[in-house]
Amino acid sequence: MPHTPSLLITIVGFILLLGPLVVIHELGHYWVGRWCGVKAEAFSVGFGRELFGRTDRRGTRWKLSAIPLGGYVQFAGDMDPTSRPDDAKFAHLTPAERAETFNAAPLWQRTLIVAAGPFTNLLFAVLIFAAFNLAFGKIVSPPVVGHFAEQAPAREAGIRVGDRIVAIDGTRVEQFPDIVALVVPYPGRTVSVAIDRGGRQLILSVPLLAHVERDKFGNESRIGRLGISPAQARIAPLGPGEAVTLAGRQTWSIMRMLVVGVQQIVTGERSVKELGGPIKTAKYSGEQLSLGWLSFVSFAAFISINLAFINLLPIPALDGGHLAFYAAEAIRRRPLGARSQNWAFRTGLAFVLALMLFVTLNDLVSLLPMGRG
């Protein structure tokens, strides 16, 4: 029977997960904004009504708000947390005050300020992975087939023990762990596997096994498998530079899998039931916390990458939407009209709220006994 952490552990895990990640994201915006000379009027963890806060000597209101599902930095000259310009307020500012507003900053500075949030989340994940790599080393395992699983589509396709996998769908394989990122996201898909068999090059088509994996908490994930394991493996220690370089590759690999996952949901290759929202995140955070701090911190790195990925989507009201506007401004050499921006932000906000409602309902359904299939 699946083990379920207590409600208290789940709540504590969710707070310990989301709170720091939101602060880290918003601090990215805040510090780059300060570096660019833009005044921050408010730094909020959460949305809605302020629960408590204080104003620092620079005039920034630091506050905790009632709805703990994100946060924002509101810069001078903004109408609201989506950074829509407040033209009425802007018109009454002195020249010195205008110089401190977000919208008076040059395009390259606004781009840096907006991009700083998600990229700080990515940097945070890289630092966690680098610390793990430095502490535990990395798996060194040549991509040579050593064993087959009971269900092994690779064996059925003609791959043999001792074959060296050199590429999958044209992407070169250096180590056995590289195979994971090229196989796991594609359950049921047929991939092209290039192998070296005693100096002879072969290319075989392998239909990946669609395997449903269940953890001790009863969570299911549908993954692709070749049904092979390595001939040998060892743990190699890493220096600081190697640890950071590997952490960067690990972070990029997860980002790539997130992109693939969204593409598969859009094309119908994966079910929308695999989308998760705040309730499922809270559930997972409690589960990982119950497994210990190493599991929880590793999960925090994964969620930090998720937050960066979501915020970089080109949806108005998200950071990626702002960056898309700035790209258009750079091409047109002038910003989009206020009416167009206002319409886009309203549409984007409606889409984000609808998506949040959908994934929350999705979470609730998945937690019901009938939702688990």
**Phi, psi at residue 144, to the nearest 5°?**
-105, 130
Q: What amino acid is encoded at 73 in this protein? A: V
Is residue 127 one of the residues assigned to a domain? no
Summarised one tens digit per residue, pLDDT across range 314-366 is: 988 889 999 999 998 899 888 877 777 788 888 888 888 888 888 888 888 77
Residue 95 tokens, joined: 């020249």
Q: How confident is the model at residue 369 (pLDDT cuts 50, 70, 90)?
A: low
Alpha carbons 234 and 206: distance in angstroms, whole number: 28
Q: Are 46 and 21 in contact (CB under 8 A)?
A: no
- For residue 230, the enclosing domain spans 138-236
Kindly tell me if the per-residue pLDDT of 24 is higher than 50.
yes
Interatomic CA distance for residues 277 and 274, integer angstroms: 10
Q: Which residues are catalytic?
A: 26
Neighbours of 169 (CB within 10 A): 13
Q: Are 277 and 356 in contact (CB under 8 A)?
A: yes
Q: Where is average pLDDT lowest: 68-77, 85-94, 126-135, 239-248?
A: 85-94
17 located within any domain: no
- Within a domain: 279: no
If 0-12 CB within 10 Å is exposed, 13-18 middle and 19+ buried, where does residue 177 land? middle
Choose among 351, 359, 216, 369: nearest CA to 279.
359
Residues 6+ apart with CB under 8 A from 242: 133
Give the C-alpha separation, 18 to 203, whole Å: 45
In-domain check, residue 169: yes
Burial class (CB in 10 A: 0-12, 13-18, 19+), 304: buried
Residues 245-277: pLDDT tens digits? 999 999 999 999 999 988 888 888 888 777 888
* pLDDT for the residue numbered 372: 47
Per cent of the chain over pLDDT 70 is: 94
- Interval 39-63: pLDDT, tens: 999 999 988 899 999 999 999 999 9
User: Is 337 among the domain residues?
Assistant: no
Any domain includes 149: yes
pLDDT band at 83; cut points 50, 70, 90: low
The verdict on pTM exceeding 0.85 is yes
Mean pLDDT score, 116-136 = 97
Contacts (Cβ under 8 Å, ≥6 apart) of 281:
14, 17, 18, 303
pLDDT in tens, 139-194: 999 999 999 999 999 999 999 999 999 999 999 999 999 998 899 999 999 999 99
Number of domains in the chain: 1
Q: List the one residue out of 119, 134, 136, 139 whose CA is nearest residue 251.
A: 119
Q: Where do runs of H (alpha helix) occur along 144-292? A: 153-156, 178-183, 240-267, 278-291
- The DSSP call for residue 81 is T
CB atoms within 10 A of CB 143: 23
Closest CA to 300 of 290, 285, 313, 312: 285
Q: How many residues does the chain have?
A: 373
Q: Are 168 and 179 spatial neighbours (Cβ–Cβ below 8 Å)?
A: yes
Q: Which residues of 188-198 are buried (b: 16+ CB within 10 A; e: fewer)?
A: eeebebbbbee
Query: Which CATH number goes with the domain that contains 200?
Result: 2.30.42.10
Q: Residue 45: inside a domain, yes or no?
A: no
User: How far is 103 from 113, CA to CA, in rounded Å?
Assistant: 11
CA torsion sign for 66, 67, 69, 75 is negative
pLDDT tens per residue across span 199-244: 899 999 999 999 888 888 888 888 999 999 998 889 999 999 999 9
For the chain, the 3-state helix, strand and coil shares in percent, each to the nearest 5, are: 50, 20, 25
Residue 189 lies in a domain: yes
pLDDT in tens, 278-313: 889 999 999 999 999 999 999 999 999 999 999 999
